[in-house]
Amino acid sequence: MNDLKFAVRQLRKSPAFTVIAVLTLALGIGLNTAIFSVVNAVLLKPPQYKNPEQLVWIWATRKNVPRAFYSIPNLNDTRAQSQTISDWIAFSTWGANLRGPSETERLQGIKISSGALQNLGVVAAAGRIFMPDDEKPDSARVVMLTYGVWQRRFGSDPRIIGSTQILNGDSYTVVGVLPRGTVIPNAEVDVIAPLNLETDERRTERGTNFLRLMARLKPGVTRQQAEAELAAIADRLREQFPTDNGNLTAPRVLRLQDEIVGEYKQMLGIIFGAVIAVLMIACLNLANLQLARASARQHELAIRSALGASRWRILRQLLSEGALLASTCSPVGAKICWFGLHPPISRMRGTSQWTRL
């Protein structure tokens, strides 16, 4: 305690050094923690779904088109012939205008196929997920909100569950809120509604390709095996329906994690490396400041030694000052990290992928 009290007095005597040291180290700590939080959420942690190692993303491909969608007839035929995939999760993008008391807001959403949320293991943060009855043609229209929209638009009000909202001029009942961190690849998601493939008006249009596909592999099946099987199915569909499928080529089967990360993987790696370099520079700068300060304190340390202080005693005093600096830098760095992860524009919008993460 005496060492810490003396360290406080020493730092008070050098306010310029203390402020510069704290800000230098706090900036390095805050930036590193913020960027690592993003890297951890995007690159290292698997998707927050049930058995994520079995989930894959499937791109249909065509000549000169490496990322294409499926039509309902092609999906139905592929699903009927596949032996490597246990469950199919199809969705399409959906733009919805949400009518409010004073203004209408444009929301981005998806319509997702029957049983998809149960298959993914999604548990609602409030309310419930879609049930089989919600997808029947004569059922009332229902919708789920993302956690970000629930917070931003409705102030996390639990009374939103069961309320009626006007989307694109139609009445929808809000039945639930998706959990925080729910990410759907290749889609900006504010709202989700059921998609019934059996009653969709495009169910007979083989050339209308609008479905994006996720799937769950059967236990023990590899991506390569699924890709080979889907390539054979695509060949058969091309031969059977040359008019609509003449340009069809072998589909691509990717790990869902890789598709979620996509083009951000290399960018995040570069940013993380740059931020680590910033932390190293901050540490070197602080070390230089400490050395300069130690040179100015040579007379003081010599007197302490002459009065009988051992080398360990002097070292302990210096370590106490370093520990005090570190304990001061940490909360400041944590605050910088918090602002890095919650910028004001993200708090207002609440729909970007980073906010969902």
**Separation between Cα atoms, residue 78 and residue 7, nearest integer Å:** 72
Residue 20 clears pLDDT 80, i.e. is over it: yes
Whether the per-residue pLDDT at 128 is higher than 50: the answer is: yes
**Rounded to whole angstroms, what are the CA distances from 62 to 42, 81, 248, 251, 328?**
29, 20, 5, 8, 58
Spatial distance between the Cα atoms of 185 and 223, rounded to a whole number of angstroms = 18
149 & 209 share domain:
yes
How many domains does the structure of the chain reveal?
A: 2
- Domain co-membership, 69 together with 188: yes
Mean predicted confidence (pLDDT) in 23-43: 80
Percent with pLDDT over 90 in the chain: 45
Question: Cβ neighbours of residue 203 under 8 Å, at least 6 residues apart?
Answer: 72, 73, 197
* Final residue before a domain boundary, out of 261, 295, 320: 261
- Of 8-17, 167-176, 304-313, which one has max mean pLDDT? 167-176
Domain with 217 in it: 52-261
At which of 239, 261, 283 does a domain end? 261
Task: Based on the fold, state whether residues 192 and 299 are members of the same structural domain.
Answer: no
Q: Indicate whether 180 and 240 sit together in one domain.
A: yes
CB contact set of 249 (below 8 Å; sequence gap of 6+) = 61, 62, 63, 234
Q: Same structural domain for residues 206 and 243? A: yes
Say which residue, 69 or 34, is predicted with more confidence: 69
Question: 116 with 215, same domain?
Answer: yes
CB 177 within 8 A of CB 127: yes
- Which of residues 261, 286, 321 is at a domain's end? 261
Q: Is the pLDDT of residue 16 over 50?
A: yes
- pLDDT band (50, 70, 90) for residue 351: very low
Residue 50 has pLDDT above 50, yes or no: yes
Q: Are residues 166 and 275 in the same domain?
A: no
Q: Is the pLDDT of residue 345 over 50?
A: no
pLDDT at 263: 63
**What is the structure's pLDDT at 343?**
59
* Res. 207: pLDDT tops 80: yes
Same domain membership, residue 180 and residue 280: no
Q: Do 180 and 306 lie in a common domain?
A: no
Higher pLDDT, 115 or 2: 115
Three-state secondary-structure class, residue 226: helix
Give residues with Cβ within 8 angstroms of 276, minimum separation 6. 32
Lowest mean pLDDT segment, chosen from 101-110, 138-147, 205-214, 301-310:
301-310
3-state class (DSSP) for residue 206: coil
Residue 352: pLDDT band (50, 70, 90) is very low
DSSP 8-class letter at 82: -
Residues 75, 132, single domain; the answer is: yes
For residue 211, what is the DSSP state? B
The answer to whether the beta carbons of residues 152 and 350 sit under 8 Å apart is yes
Q: In terms of pTM, does the model score above 0.85?
A: no
Q: Are residues 70 and 171 in the same domain?
A: yes
Of the pLDDT bands very low, low, confident and very high (cuts 50, 70, 90), residue 252 is very high
Mean pLDDT of the chain: 85
pLDDT of 347 above 80: no
Considering the domain architecture, whether residues 256 and 267 belong to the same structural domain is answered as no
pLDDT in the model for residue 282: 81
Task: Determine the average pLDDT of the residues in 232-243.
Answer: 95
